[in-house]
Structure 1
């Protein structure tokens, strides 16, 4: 496994960014001094930049539209065409287009894309406008290359509706036994504890990422390296089983199981916003959907309690949305110009305000939501982990995505699932080693 230790440096980045939330005293009207900004670009041969994006949320699409409109006003010969699709569609599309040598000019980063199809951005001046720790963390799975330009910071944890808990005389659980008490009390009143569905499997998959990040990598940051060395395995590590059991027994088991296949991503967002569920495992991309339904809902963010020791609960925090340029793009200079604008304070502020996330652009400090205080509390106390599915090899995460619901729905047992996952871990390692020769 390629070194991923650089991700730990995101502590400094995220603590400083999130601690600044609420102050919003920075001048966000334009690019930082010394930052690379797009030249006027008025005239010249017409250029169309194609972007494939997995940012389906309306807030992300609105942000991209405003950013693209601003960029095109200053670069009248460049037209930006952005196409949005879900992760599965984007993965399939990119693999097909890569095989046909018809890659788009830019993509919102997906680690499933082989790095040899992407342009190394090392040394580009616009990167200096971003926090260097964030850039390093976003590219930690690569060997001394920069293929992804991160524009925001993400997390995966559990949103909780404070009003639902308070109205039922319940407190935020700090331990696993306290969580058991809370979910049982809600069940007795006919209230689903978790907004979890199976109509869109990402609704169920996101909390599992949060859980194994806590139980496995939150307890042993060197787990991947030790697994590659053959010192441990998924089958023999109780922390992997714990993640899957908590996911099956709590996140799914105390959801609206009878209606699970009718609950979509948007439905789950609405459930937590409207107080129809107490908890919801997801990332920052869900926050805008939650706020569209419940703009004043009293929502917090927490790590799932995984034991009787509250200190074992760690929030997954990581660089999230990034942009990459295809190596074979015929419009590389125009694509770089677009990234330069994305790295400006103007674009960073638009993205942070509309998408409700922390920006990686230096000087952009937007008070985007009260949950920023919750995230900062985990980071400042050191109760977070940067290790999630994004630092795992693609072949392995493909298998996770393919099989996780089988365990959730009791269609397989742990012995078989863990053996399959171990086999795919080794397969992914072999593929990487072969490609590196």
Structure 2
């Protein structure tokens, strides 16, 4: 009997050991150790199946719709469980975004803009500081962006960089032996030569009122902010004023000079696309705009020979600097139910393939390290300014949000002589102080 009991116990132990081994083997088959891979897409394919999620991307870059679609398709191939739906809003996107925020319908990812800091102060944006994918962004883009505050919080990831300056037709310049001016007197001589030869110097599309502001910024950036990068802080603390800053007078006078040397009589009847067409067809020698205008100009005439130059603001050539800044950035909602999926998408945008596709299509400079795209011969002109350190930034970055429309409204009033320049500058001082007080209340 004891012998039989011993046999039964031995058999039980063997069966238990066998069952334990089988269980371990089964666990290994269903959940193998993670495979190390330097390829994020490969690593994603080796992770366990994820619950499907959909994230909502809100932006205003209509010209980037197809490019985003291609990037989203590639992203979905790498992360099949994440669906990205893009919504493009071009008509007052800032107001629409704020309405969504007010009704607790914040998009998962949305475009950073001039009011990003205000939205962040309300607690609606995730702080991206310390996220590994920001290591893929150039330090210059992070420093210059209006998305990183003085406390080191990063409220949006810069995607690309742009500039605003003067597009000029190199063939027209060559025909009259003209070169980009570096001083105000050279600028005046160039305008006189063009007028004397029946050439309209500037294409103006003021029917779209937003096109006036870039002219003011192209002047103010080197005239005001390249000289005093702390001007905004001084204005807010009462140490500076528009009315007492000669460089602001210069900036407004240059705006009027451009207006008086363009298609002045039709400026407010011509829209942005019409002004781009004028440049494309050689009907005007120059246009003050941002790099984003290159695509609509080239769509009318792919062979137009364009250059980019800075606006002279004094008799010192060293003051003639190109206005450069990070252009497009993306924020993540602080209340998104899918924070990791959103971060994966932003990380995907910092990969070289994505960055090169974006910038070659958008015709902008990349904010991603190591990505250089020669999207147009004109890029060589911009790079020459950058390489020489002849660039300035900031301008309207850091202005109180409520001040922006006040500034924009003042520009046509000045051009159409509805108010004198001293009165305009005084009104801007008052508008700034009011907007600053409102932002702190």
| TM beyond 0.5 | yes
Structure 1 residues 152-175: Cα deviation after superposition (integer angstroms, max 9, x where no partner): 111111111111122234332222
Closer/same/farther in 2, CA of residues 169 and 52 from structure 1, 3 Å limit: same
1:221 aligns with 2:236: no
Structure 1 runs of 4+ with >6 Å offset = 32-38
Cα distance in 2 for residues equivalent to 1:152 and 1:254: 32
**2:165 equivalent in structure 1:** 157
Structure 1 residues 280-319: Cα deviation after superposition (integer angstroms, max 9, x where no partner): 1111211222222333322111111122222111111111
Q: Is the Cα contact below 8 Å between 1:119 and 1:147 reproduced in 2?
A: yes
Query: Which of these residues, 76, 96, 103, is aligned with residue 80 of structure 2?
Result: 76
**1:243 equivalent in structure 2:** 251
**1:277 equivalent in structure 2:** 284
Cα distance in 1 for residues equivalent to 2:417 and 2:89: 30
Structure 1 residues 244-276: Cα deviation after superposition (integer angstroms, max 9, x where no partner): 11101x221111122223322222222222222
**1:420 equivalent in structure 2:** 427
Cα distance in 1 for residues equivalent to 2:40 and 2:269: 48
**1:256 equivalent in structure 2:** 263
Closer/same/farther in 2, CA of residues 107 and 280 from structure 1, 3 Å limit: same
Instruction: Tell me the secondary structure at the aligned position of residue 94 of structure 1.
Output: helix
Bigger-Rg structure (1/2): 2
Q: Is the Cα contact below 8 Å between 1:36 and 1:340 reproduced in 2?
A: no
Instruction: Tell me the secondary structure at the aligned position of residue 49 of structure 1.
Output: strand
Closer/same/farther in 2, CA of residues 375 and 331 from structure 1, 3 Å limit: same
1:293 aligns with 2:300: yes
**2:204 equivalent in structure 1:** 196
Give 1:37 deviation, angstroms: 9.2
Structure 1 residues 179-213: Cα deviation after superposition (integer angstroms, max 9, x where no partner): 22222332334432111111211222212111111
**1:26 equivalent in structure 2:** none
Q: Is the Cα contact below 8 Å between 1:272 and 1:280 reproduced in 2?
A: yes
TM, length-normalised to structure 2: 0.84
Closer/same/farther in 2, CA of residues 34 and 222 from structure 1, 3 Å limit: farther
Give 1:389 deviation, angstroms: 1.1
Cα distance in 2 for residues equivalent to 1:183 and 1:133: 35
Give 1:131 deviation, angstroms: 1.7
Q: Is the Cα contact below 8 Å between 2:205 and 2:273 reproduced in 1?
A: no
Moved more, 367-376 or 234-243: 367-376
Closer/same/farther in 2, CA of residues 184 and 141 from structure 1, 3 Å limit: farther
Q: Is the Cα contact below 8 Å between 1:35 and 1:129 reproduced in 2?
A: no
Give 1:75 deviation, angstroms: 2.7
**1:11 equivalent in structure 2:** none
Q: Is the Cα contact below 8 Å between 1:130 and 1:360 reproduced in 2?
A: yes
Give 1:35 deviation, angstroms: 7.7
**1:39 equivalent in structure 2:** 44
**1:64 equivalent in structure 2:** 68
Task: Please report the RMSD computed on the Cα atoms of aligned residues, expressed in angstroms.
Answer: 2.3
Closer/same/farther in 2, CA of residues 337 and 305 from structure 1, 3 Å limit: same
Closer/same/farther in 2, CA of residues 262 and 43 from structure 1, 3 Å limit: farther
Give 1:92 deviation, angstroms: 1.1
Q: Is the Cα contact below 8 Å between 2:148 and 2:155 reproduced in 1?
A: no
Moved more, 320-329 or 167-176: 167-176
**1:8 equivalent in structure 2:** none
- Unpaired segments ≥5 residues, structure 1: 1-31
Give 1:243 deviation, angstroms: 0.7
Cα distance in 1 for residues equivalent to 2:43 and 2:271: 40
1:398 aligns with 2:405: yes
1:349 aligns with 2:356: yes
Alignment of 1:106-185 (within 5 A): 106-113=109-116, 114-115=119-120, 116-138=123-145, 139-185=147-193
Closer/same/farther in 2, CA of residues 53 and 39 from structure 1, 3 Å limit: same
